[in-house]
Amino acid sequence: MLQLLSLILIGFLVGIFVISLGGGGGAIYLGVLTGIFRLAPAAAAATSIVTALPALVIGAWSYYRKGLIDFKLGSRMMLAAIPSIFIGFFISPFIPQQIYKVVIGLILVALGLQIIYQLYHNRPSKRHRLSPGLASVLYGILGGLMVGVAGLSGGGPITAGLLILGVPMKNASATSSYVLVGMSIVGALLHLTGGNVDWQAAGGLIAGSLAGALLAPTVIIWLTNKPSRAFLVKLFMGIFVATMGIVSMC
Protein backbone atom coordinates (compact mmCIF):
# COMPACT_ATOMS: atom_id res chain seq x y z
CA MET A 1 0.00 0.00 0.00
CA LEU A 2 2.84 2.42 0.87
CA GLN A 3 4.50 1.70 -2.46
CA LEU A 4 1.22 2.36 -4.31
CA LEU A 5 0.72 5.67 -2.51
CA SER A 6 4.31 6.64 -3.31
CA LEU A 7 3.73 5.89 -7.00
CA ILE A 8 0.53 7.95 -7.06
CA LEU A 9 2.24 10.91 -5.39
CA ILE A 10 5.23 10.74 -7.73
CA GLY A 11 2.90 10.48 -10.72
CA PHE A 12 0.92 13.52 -9.58
CA LEU A 13 4.01 15.67 -9.08
CA VAL A 14 5.55 14.60 -12.37
CA GLY A 15 2.25 15.07 -14.20
CA ILE A 16 1.63 18.62 -13.04
CA PHE A 17 5.29 19.65 -13.34
CA VAL A 18 6.27 18.03 -16.62
CA ILE A 19 3.03 18.56 -18.57
CA SER A 20 3.21 22.23 -17.54
CA LEU A 21 6.60 22.38 -19.25
CA GLY A 22 5.45 20.47 -22.32
CA GLY A 23 7.27 17.20 -21.59
CA GLY A 24 6.08 13.67 -21.13
CA GLY A 25 8.12 12.79 -18.05
CA GLY A 26 9.65 9.70 -19.64
CA ALA A 27 13.14 10.43 -18.32
CA ILE A 28 11.85 11.06 -14.79
CA TYR A 29 9.65 7.97 -14.80
CA LEU A 30 12.57 5.93 -16.15
CA GLY A 31 14.79 7.18 -13.33
CA VAL A 32 12.14 6.45 -10.68
CA LEU A 33 11.44 2.95 -12.00
CA THR A 34 15.09 1.92 -12.30
CA GLY A 35 16.56 3.84 -9.36
CA ILE A 36 13.83 3.49 -6.74
CA PHE A 37 11.75 0.49 -7.77
CA ARG A 38 14.66 -1.46 -9.30
CA LEU A 39 12.98 -2.49 -12.55
CA ALA A 40 15.14 -3.95 -15.31
CA PRO A 41 16.01 -1.38 -18.04
CA ALA A 42 13.79 -2.98 -20.72
CA ALA A 43 10.80 -3.20 -18.38
CA ALA A 44 11.41 0.33 -17.09
CA ALA A 45 11.59 1.75 -20.65
CA ALA A 46 8.34 0.06 -21.66
CA THR A 47 6.62 1.04 -18.40
CA SER A 48 7.76 4.68 -18.52
CA ILE A 49 6.45 5.37 -22.01
CA VAL A 50 3.13 3.59 -21.36
CA THR A 51 2.81 5.56 -18.11
CA ALA A 52 3.39 8.92 -19.80
CA LEU A 53 0.77 8.45 -22.54
CA PRO A 54 -2.54 8.90 -20.64
CA ALA A 55 -1.35 12.09 -18.93
CA LEU A 56 -0.17 13.48 -22.27
CA VAL A 57 -3.58 12.83 -23.83
CA ILE A 58 -5.36 14.60 -20.97
CA GLY A 59 -2.88 17.47 -21.00
CA ALA A 60 -3.08 17.93 -24.79
CA TRP A 61 -6.90 17.89 -24.68
CA SER A 62 -6.91 20.54 -21.96
CA TYR A 63 -4.51 22.71 -23.96
CA TYR A 64 -6.65 22.22 -27.09
CA ARG A 65 -9.74 23.46 -25.28
CA LYS A 66 -7.84 26.61 -24.35
CA GLY A 67 -6.75 27.15 -27.97
CA LEU A 68 -3.01 27.05 -27.24
CA ILE A 69 -1.77 24.38 -29.68
CA ASP A 70 0.03 25.38 -32.90
CA PHE A 71 -1.17 22.47 -35.04
CA LYS A 72 0.78 23.46 -38.16
CA LEU A 73 4.14 23.51 -36.41
CA GLY A 74 3.30 20.58 -34.15
CA SER A 75 2.13 18.35 -37.02
CA ARG A 76 5.35 19.07 -38.93
CA MET A 77 7.37 17.97 -35.91
CA MET A 78 5.24 14.87 -35.40
CA LEU A 79 5.55 13.79 -39.04
CA ALA A 80 9.33 14.07 -38.76
CA ALA A 81 9.44 12.30 -35.40
CA ILE A 82 7.37 9.19 -36.12
CA PRO A 83 9.66 7.63 -38.78
CA SER A 84 12.60 8.45 -36.49
CA ILE A 85 10.99 6.43 -33.69
CA PHE A 86 10.97 3.32 -35.89
CA ILE A 87 14.55 3.93 -36.99
CA GLY A 88 15.70 4.47 -33.40
CA PHE A 89 13.90 1.38 -32.16
CA PHE A 90 15.42 -0.94 -34.77
CA ILE A 91 18.98 0.42 -34.50
CA SER A 92 18.95 0.63 -30.69
CA PRO A 93 20.38 -2.91 -30.20
CA PHE A 94 23.46 -1.88 -32.22
CA ILE A 95 24.19 1.44 -30.47
CA PRO A 96 26.54 1.31 -27.46
CA GLN A 97 24.51 2.77 -24.61
CA GLN A 98 27.31 5.01 -23.40
CA ILE A 99 27.81 6.59 -26.81
CA TYR A 100 24.08 7.25 -27.14
CA LYS A 101 23.93 8.81 -23.68
CA VAL A 102 26.84 11.15 -24.40
CA VAL A 103 25.51 12.29 -27.79
CA ILE A 104 21.98 12.94 -26.52
CA GLY A 105 23.35 14.57 -23.38
CA LEU A 106 25.50 17.01 -25.35
CA ILE A 107 22.60 17.91 -27.62
CA LEU A 108 20.28 18.59 -24.68
CA VAL A 109 22.94 20.72 -22.98
CA ALA A 110 23.34 22.74 -26.19
CA LEU A 111 19.57 23.23 -26.53
CA GLY A 112 19.22 24.30 -22.90
CA LEU A 113 22.07 26.80 -23.19
CA GLN A 114 20.60 28.20 -26.40
CA ILE A 115 17.26 28.86 -24.63
CA ILE A 116 19.11 30.76 -21.90
CA TYR A 117 21.23 32.66 -24.43
CA GLN A 118 18.16 33.81 -26.35
CA LEU A 119 16.50 34.99 -23.15
CA TYR A 120 19.35 37.32 -22.31
CA HIS A 121 20.05 38.47 -25.86
CA ASN A 122 16.40 38.81 -26.90
CA ARG A 123 17.00 37.18 -30.28
CA PRO A 124 13.79 36.85 -32.31
CA SER A 125 13.00 33.61 -34.08
CA LYS A 126 13.51 35.16 -37.55
CA ARG A 127 17.26 35.23 -36.82
CA HIS A 128 17.36 31.49 -36.33
CA ARG A 129 20.12 30.21 -38.59
CA LEU A 130 17.87 27.49 -40.03
CA SER A 131 14.47 28.11 -41.55
CA PRO A 132 11.64 27.39 -39.05
CA GLY A 133 10.43 24.53 -41.25
CA LEU A 134 13.79 22.76 -41.42
CA ALA A 135 14.58 23.44 -37.76
CA SER A 136 11.24 22.01 -36.61
CA VAL A 137 11.89 18.85 -38.65
CA LEU A 138 15.34 18.41 -37.08
CA TYR A 139 13.96 18.84 -33.56
CA GLY A 140 11.24 16.32 -34.38
CA ILE A 141 13.80 13.80 -35.63
CA LEU A 142 15.85 14.16 -32.46
CA GLY A 143 12.80 13.70 -30.25
CA GLY A 144 11.75 10.63 -32.23
CA LEU A 145 15.18 9.03 -31.89
CA MET A 146 15.04 9.52 -28.11
CA VAL A 147 11.69 7.70 -27.99
CA GLY A 148 12.78 4.88 -30.28
CA VAL A 149 16.20 4.20 -28.80
CA ALA A 150 15.63 4.63 -25.07
CA GLY A 151 11.88 4.75 -24.38
CA LEU A 152 12.07 8.41 -23.34
CA SER A 153 9.24 10.81 -24.12
CA GLY A 154 11.35 13.04 -26.39
CA GLY A 155 9.89 16.15 -24.80
CA GLY A 156 13.23 17.85 -24.14
CA PRO A 157 14.22 18.61 -27.75
CA ILE A 158 10.61 19.23 -28.83
CA THR A 159 9.87 21.87 -26.19
CA ALA A 160 13.35 23.37 -26.39
CA GLY A 161 13.09 23.54 -30.17
CA LEU A 162 9.75 25.35 -30.00
CA LEU A 163 11.17 27.90 -27.56
CA ILE A 164 14.26 28.43 -29.70
CA LEU A 165 11.95 29.03 -32.68
CA GLY A 166 10.29 31.82 -30.70
CA VAL A 167 7.06 30.13 -29.64
CA PRO A 168 5.70 31.56 -26.32
CA MET A 169 6.14 29.25 -23.33
CA LYS A 170 2.46 28.35 -22.85
CA ASN A 171 2.03 27.61 -26.58
CA ALA A 172 5.30 25.65 -26.61
CA SER A 173 4.06 23.49 -23.72
CA ALA A 174 0.71 22.95 -25.44
CA THR A 175 2.19 22.14 -28.86
CA SER A 176 4.80 19.85 -27.34
CA SER A 177 2.10 17.88 -25.50
CA TYR A 178 0.25 17.44 -28.81
CA VAL A 179 3.39 16.22 -30.58
CA LEU A 180 4.28 13.86 -27.74
CA VAL A 181 0.86 12.18 -27.85
CA GLY A 182 1.53 10.93 -31.38
CA MET A 183 5.12 10.03 -30.58
CA SER A 184 4.20 8.18 -27.39
CA ILE A 185 1.48 6.10 -29.07
CA VAL A 186 4.01 4.81 -31.60
CA GLY A 187 6.74 4.41 -28.98
CA ALA A 188 4.44 2.55 -26.59
CA LEU A 189 3.38 0.09 -29.28
CA LEU A 190 6.99 -0.61 -30.21
CA HIS A 191 8.32 -0.92 -26.66
CA LEU A 192 5.45 -3.17 -25.63
CA THR A 193 6.86 -5.72 -28.08
CA GLY A 194 10.38 -5.43 -26.66
CA GLY A 195 9.87 -5.12 -22.93
CA ASN A 196 7.47 -6.20 -20.22
CA VAL A 197 5.34 -3.47 -18.67
CA ASP A 198 5.10 -3.58 -14.89
CA TRP A 199 1.39 -2.77 -14.71
CA GLN A 200 1.40 -2.45 -10.92
CA ALA A 201 3.95 0.35 -11.09
CA ALA A 202 2.34 1.84 -14.20
CA GLY A 203 -1.12 1.89 -12.60
CA GLY A 204 -0.06 3.97 -9.62
CA LEU A 205 1.97 6.42 -11.71
CA ILE A 206 -0.84 6.81 -14.26
CA ALA A 207 -3.45 7.50 -11.56
CA GLY A 208 -1.36 10.29 -10.09
CA SER A 209 -0.18 11.75 -13.40
CA LEU A 210 -3.73 12.07 -14.76
CA ALA A 211 -4.70 14.31 -11.85
CA GLY A 212 -1.55 16.37 -12.34
CA ALA A 213 -2.11 16.68 -16.10
CA LEU A 214 -5.60 18.12 -15.55
CA LEU A 215 -4.10 20.97 -13.51
CA ALA A 216 -1.06 21.57 -15.72
CA PRO A 217 -2.59 23.94 -18.35
CA THR A 218 -3.99 26.20 -15.62
CA VAL A 219 -0.60 26.22 -13.89
CA ILE A 220 1.38 27.16 -17.01
CA ILE A 221 -1.09 29.91 -17.98
CA TRP A 222 -0.77 31.42 -14.50
CA LEU A 223 3.00 31.14 -14.59
CA THR A 224 3.30 32.90 -17.95
CA ASN A 225 0.61 35.60 -17.77
CA LYS A 226 3.19 38.10 -16.49
CA PRO A 227 6.44 38.81 -18.35
CA SER A 228 8.57 38.45 -15.23
CA ARG A 229 7.17 34.99 -14.45
CA ALA A 230 7.35 33.95 -18.11
CA PHE A 231 11.03 34.91 -18.15
CA LEU A 232 11.71 32.80 -15.06
CA VAL A 233 9.82 29.80 -16.49
CA LYS A 234 11.85 29.95 -19.71
CA LEU A 235 15.06 30.33 -17.71
CA PHE A 236 14.11 27.31 -15.62
CA MET A 237 13.26 25.36 -18.77
CA GLY A 238 16.68 26.10 -20.23
CA ILE A 239 18.42 25.03 -17.02
CA PHE A 240 16.18 21.95 -16.77
CA VAL A 241 16.93 20.78 -20.33
CA ALA A 242 20.67 21.35 -19.87
CA THR A 243 20.60 19.49 -16.55
CA MET A 244 18.77 16.57 -18.18
CA GLY A 245 21.62 16.40 -20.69
CA ILE A 246 24.29 16.40 -17.98
CA VAL A 247 22.48 13.72 -15.95
CA SER A 248 21.99 11.53 -19.01
CA MET A 249 25.76 11.48 -19.60
CA CYS A 250 26.54 10.29 -16.07
CA-CA distance, 154 to 164, in Å (whole number)? Answer: 16
- Pairwise CA distance, residues 146 & 162, whole Å: 17
pTM over 0.85: no
Asked if residue 153 lies in contact with residue 180, where contact means CB atoms within 8 angstroms, the answer is: yes
Confidence bin at 220 (pLDDT 50/70/90): confident
* pLDDT of residue 118 exceeding 80: no
Nearest CA-CA partner of 179 in 66, 98, 63, 46? 63
More confident: 23 or 139: 139
Band (125; pLDDT cuts 50, 70, 90): very low
Q: Which of the four pLDDT bands, split at 50, 70 and 90, describes residue 236?
A: confident
Mean pLDDT, to the nearest integer, of 145-172? 82
Decide: 60 and 179 in contact? Cβ < 8 Å: no
Q: At what angle do helices 97-121 and 132-150 cross, to 10 degrees?
A: 150
pLDDT band for position 72 (cuts 50, 70, 90): very high
Domain ranges of the chain: 2-249
pLDDT (mean) for 223-233: 81
Phi, psi for residue 151 in degrees, rounded to 5:
75, 20
State the chain's mean pLDDT as an integer. 79
